[in-house]
Amino acid sequence: MLFHFLVPLSESMAVFNVFRYITFRAAGAATTALVLSLVLGPVLIRTLQRLSIGQNIRDEGPKSHQAKAGTPTMGGVLILVALTVPTLLWARLDNPFVWLVIATTLAFGSIGFADDYLKLHRENDKGLTAWFKFTLTCMVALSFGLLLVSLSFETTLTFPFFKDLVLNLGLFYLALVVAILVGTSHAVNLTDGLDGLAIGATLVAAATYAIFTYIAGNSIVADYLQVAFVPGAGEVSIFCAALVGASLGFLWFNCHPAEIFMGDTGSLAIGGAIGSVAILSKQEILLFVVGGLFVIEAVSVILQVGSFKLRGVRIFRMAPIHHHFELKGWREPQIIVRFWILAVLFALLSLATLKLR
């Protein structure tokens, strides 16, 4: 919005030329999102407390978590507001990718909101059924894919380390889009089990994809680094920067001991956002590295369920894997910080692939 109002004024006042630069506007979006989160956070927490909107804790989890019962939840609303408003304020609104990534994030957030609402209404941890939630997320993901195709988005798949290996998937690209968005949204949802764990990993992933989307949208840099050039993708880095700011702001209230939980409203939305920007930057495969922590959490659940159903044996004391370490005696802050370190290492590894091609 600011771009469209202020850039035309640069002809008479040169200072407004800075709004032409994506890097400047990305910094502005991150700062705005952070400030907005810090200002609105206490208001939302007090409102949720007044409305008695508190977290229901499942009985089969670690017993230490029972002390968290009643903590305000649905804090994902704060993340969505702090993400959407700065993006609309600082990004170019004539860029279809910006609208697409915002709409997809809000759609996933709406599914999470419905799930959280049902849990609160029923006063237990049973919200939307697993199959219904899966169906809804698939529908949103498919809509995202169809809109991309309608924008003549390339249905090619590139691979890290192999600059000449490019596969054109055609309509099969839609299946990949659905798998990425649904998988990422549910992986983030599984990771959101300890104070600040998911939002800290989100901050790292968003910062990484801010770099990837900027590179993808810059023809000179993309050509130099031998990555796919996606015209218009640079504006999505502003969305990523806003997500970094929103994550920092939410972490202020969500760090241990948490004053508020994001709920499915936040985790599904974040997963949809990260998956969307991975696709728009043509770095779909690297999502497994950038979001390595989310992958580990999701795989631990798959292995646990598969092993128990096939062999009647549990691999971990409890899944997702962060609960396994809790039951082994690790303190919650220990697990959180160590998992954050893993997230940073995965991000650095993914960035290193830019020069290993």
Under the banding of pLDDT at 50, 70 and 90, the label for residue 80 is very high
Task: Give the confidence band of 76 by pLDDT, cuts at 50, 70, 90.
Answer: very high
Structure tokens at 123: 């006063």
3-state secondary structure 46-111: HHHHHCCCECCCCCCCCHHHHHHCCCECCCHHHHHHHHHHHHHHHCCCCCHHHHHHHHHHHHHHHH
Domain ranges of the chain: 2-284
Q: Dihedral, CA atoms, 107, 108, 110, 115, nearest 10 degrees?
A: 150
Alpha helices in the chain (DSSP H): 2-6, 22-50, 76-90, 96-122, 130-150, 172-191, 197-216, 219-225, 236-254, 263-280, 287-290, 292-311, 321-327, 332-352
Bridge partner list, 158:
166
Contact 234, 220 (CB under 8 A): no
Summarised one tens digit per residue, pLDDT across range 161-197 is 777 788 999 989 999 999 999 999 999 999 998 999 9
- Report the DSSP beta bridge partners of residue 156: 168
Cα-trace Rg, the chain: 20
Give yes or no for residue 28 having a pLDDT over 90.
yes
**Encoding tokens for residue 166?**
């490019």
pLDDT of 232 above 80: yes
Q: Which pLDDT belongs to residue 153?
A: 94
Q: Directed axis angle between helix 172-191 and helix 292-311, to 10°?
A: 90
108 by Cβ neighbours in 10 Å (0-12 / 13-18 / 19+) ranks as: buried
Residue whose structure tokens are 């015209």: 231
What pLDDT is recorded for position 10? 75
Q: What confidence tier does 122 reach under pLDDT thresholds 50, 70, 90?
A: confident
Per-residue pLDDT tens over the stretch 288-330 = 999 999 999 999 999 999 998 889 899 999 999 999 999 999 9
What are the φ/ψ torsions at residue 72 (nearest 5 degrees)?
-50, 135
Question: Angle, to 10 degrees, between the axis of helix 236-254 and the axis of helix 263-280?
Answer: 150
Angle between helices 236-254 and 96-122 (to 10 degrees): 30
What pTM did the predictor assign? Answer: 0.94
The mean of the pLDDT values for the chain is: 92
Residues in the chain, total:
357
Using a pLDDT cut of 70, give the percent of the chain over it: 96
Q: Per-residue pLDDT averaged across 234-249, rounded?
A: 98
